[in-house]
Amino acid sequence: MKRITNTVRMIIMIGIALISVAPILWMVAGAFRPYQELFKYTSLNIHLLVPVEWTWRNFHNVIFNVRNPFLRYIWNTLFVATIVTALVLIINAMAAFAFAKLKFRFKKVVFALFMSAMIIPGEVTLVPNYLLMHDLGWLNSYKALIVPSLLSVFGIFMLRQFFAEVPSEMMEAARMDGASLPRTFVSIVLPAAVPALITLGLMTFLGNWDSYLWPLIVINDQKMQMIQVGISTFSSNEGTDWSKVLAANTLSTVPILFLFLFLQRYYIQGITMSGIKG
């Protein structure tokens, strides 16, 4: 009976996995199809996921597009996402450590007010942030893409949960051995939160990689644009070249896919542990 239950469970899991992966497989297959074949096969058969006529022309037209420099979009996005991720981990880790281990007046009140920012939709702050970037003269610059993304309320909350679990006795022993507070933070507290740091880093990188609305608003120079806005440029008043869109989406998915496959163990561990710590 147990074997039958495990078999049924496995079949259900495989079915759910196939349903989840099917759109990605169709996207990749569509990237290798000529435009005439893209919507030709709609019924359930092998050619729905396997092209009849394979072609690399879609990728060539995307990568070597003079009007829309796709490789430049990838470089811009990679640069901004990497800088933002690194600074988010540093700044938010220090803020979370302060809330978890340091003692100061009105700490609980300040933390509660800080957490209340999580209920504010991003659309509410869109106009004020744009006006701030305009007043600072940062429009059409990397600073407008990087600086507003450096604070993550959810990231501080998640890291605080991890830091709170670090025994205070270990920090006290380090202090008695002559370690300064920064040294204790780097040598004792941070190593205990590696899964959470990797989880926050992956979420931050992915969020900036998929960013569309904010770059569309603050960046006008085509050479400084981000990848998701670059993909949208393949749509025009004359219509959408879906072959190029699918090829561009496939290219933009590959780095994230490899990054997640490499770090998925830490990501799942970080999400699981952050949900059970108090």
What is the set of domains in the chain, with CATH numbers? 1-55 (no CATH), 66-276 (1.10.3720.10)
**pLDDT tens, position by position, 260-271:** 777 776 666 655
Phi, psi of 54 (to 5 degrees): -85, 140
Mean pLDDT (the chain) is 85
pLDDT band at 277 (very low <50, low <70, confident <90, very high): very low
What pLDDT score was predicted for residue 36? 82
Q: What is the pLDDT of residues 223-245, one digit of tens each?
A: 889 999 988 887 664 567 788 88
Reference 230, options 214, 216, 246; nearest CA is: 216
Write the burial class of residue 191 (CB in 10 Å: 0-12 exposed, 13-18 middle, 19+ buried). Answer: exposed
At 130-180, the pLDDT tens digits run: 999 999 999 999 999 999 999 888 889 888 888 888 888 888 888 888 888
Rounded to whole angstroms, the Cα distance separating 85 from 20 reads: 28
d(CA 49, CA 30): 8
For residue 88, what are its two tokens? 């988010």
The 10s digit of each residue's pLDDT in 15-71 is: 898 888 888 888 888 889 888 888 777 777 777 778 888 889 989 988 888 888 888
89 pLDDT more than 60: yes
Please answer whether residues 31 and 246 qualify as being in contact, where contact means their C-beta atoms are separated by less than 8 angstroms: yes
Work out the pLDDT band at 275, boundaries 50, 70, 90: very low
Would you place residue 273 in the very low, low, confident or very high pLDDT band (cuts 50, 70, 90)? Answer: low
pTM for this structure? 0.83
* pLDDT for the residue 24: 87
